[in-house]
Structure 1
Amino acid sequence: MKPGQQTSVPSGQFQNVKEVEASAKAKMEKVIAGLQHEMTSMRTGRASVNLFDGITVEAYGSQMPINHVATLHVPEPTLITIQPYDVSQMGLIEKAIRSSDLGLNPSNDGKQIRVPIPTLTEERRKDMVKHLHHVAEEHRVRLRNVRRDSNEAIKKLVKDKLISEDEDRRGHEETQKLTDAYITKIDQLAKGKEKDILEVK
């Protein structure tokens, strides 16, 4: 399961509205964490070691993240250097970067890999912003799914006579407030990332 993806709340696990709210909040936090994780691997005009977060290398018989097989540095704003712990892994690391969808062209001098970060074209920036909006919307939908599951859990508490109608109403109001607050967080994160992508260095 990808970070931030949600499963439905099993009905009957809650005894009161507070438990429903606590569960919803924890799930919404995971949605935000999932979005942040996805956004770190989106390219901007600046070099960042987080760029390679989603890339794995075939090493020692298993797929491993690049930062588990090498040290990454950003010596200048448009360059990332990669120092493999084992130089025999150099070709595999290069291949993994080349075959990713980042559009980067690594080279090595026998000791380390140099990855120049080219300036993004205006068209590429616009495509990335479009992709960013799509990813942000997916995470808003996940938040709304958490809200739906929470509201269903609250309705069940009423049906099972575990809470009063007043608590039922308050529970729905609090769930909506929580959803609005987390949607605002998504909007702010997406806005910040969009600014990073569109900023021409």
Structure 2
Amino acid sequence: MATVKEITTNIESKMHKSVDALKVDLASLRAGRATPALLEKVMVDYYGSPTPVNQVASVTVPEPRMIVIQPWEKNLLKDIEKAIMKSDLGLNPNSDGVCIRLNLPQLTEERRKDLVKVVHKKAEEFRVVVRNLRRDANDAIKKAEKAKEITEDESKKGVEQVQKLTDKIMKDIDSAAAAKEKEVMEI
């Protein structure tokens, strides 16, 4: 037996998690400045299993346009270089035998516009996720009403609560996307 409160609390938690996931996704997009989050999706073959770079090396940002990667094991240097070159970051690693330096070039206007499109696409993907969660919540509320677990008034209030929550989450998604767009367009 599900109550409206249980349904909305469950959906609210899932919606907040999707906003957090969007923020993590956007952080891994390359804007104008260096950030260790850029390397989160770069996987290195570490004893036969793909492992994120930040779990096999220390990743630091000594300058706004430079990332320094210092592997904990020297034999990983070449593997990390290969992984970075294979990634879609478009960066050339410079190795001195001890660490790898990644210099981030200034983004071109065309590349910035492409990144903005990617930001909008990711935001839309998460909007769809939130809309699907809203639909699931509304279906659960209607189902509970049909099964006579809740009253018609409770059902209407529940649907309204879910819509208010959805509106709030959509604003969060829009503001996260707008912030990333502003960051990407900064020169």
TM-score category of the 2 structures, normalised to the smaller one: over 0.9
Q: Which protein is richer in helix relative to its size?
A: 2
* Alignment partners' CA distance in 2, 1:108 and 1:55: 17
Please list, as runs of the form range in 1=range in 2, the aligned pairs for 1:110-125 lying within 5 A after superposition.
110-125=97-112
- Count of residues in correspondence between the two structures: 187
Aligned-residue offset at 1:37:
1.5
Instruction: Please name the residue that 2:18 is paired with.
Output: 31
Q: 1:71 aligns with which of 58, 61, 65?
A: 58
Aligned-residue offset at 1:15:
1.8
| Unpaired segments ≥5 residues, structure 2 | none
| Unpaired segments ≥5 residues, structure 1 | 1-13
Please list, as runs of the form range in 1=range in 2, the aligned pairs for 1:14-163 lying within 5 A after superposition.
14-163=1-150
- Which residue identity lines up with residue 54 of structure 1 in the other structure? K
Instruction: Please name the residue that 1:178 is paired with.
Output: 165
Aligned-residue offset at 1:105:
0.5
* Alignment partners' CA distance in 1, 2:18 and 2:151: 30
Question: Does the 8 A contact of 1:73 with 1:82 survive in 2?
Answer: yes
TM-score (norm 2): 0.98
Bigger Cα displacement from structure 2, 28-37 vs 127-136: 28-37
* Alignment partners' CA distance in 2, 1:188 and 1:33: 12
For the residue of structure 1 that corresponds to 2:102, the secondary structure is strand
* Alignment partners' CA distance in 2, 1:76 and 1:157: 57
Q: What percent of counterpart residues are identical?
A: 49
CA RMSD of aligned residues (A): 0.7
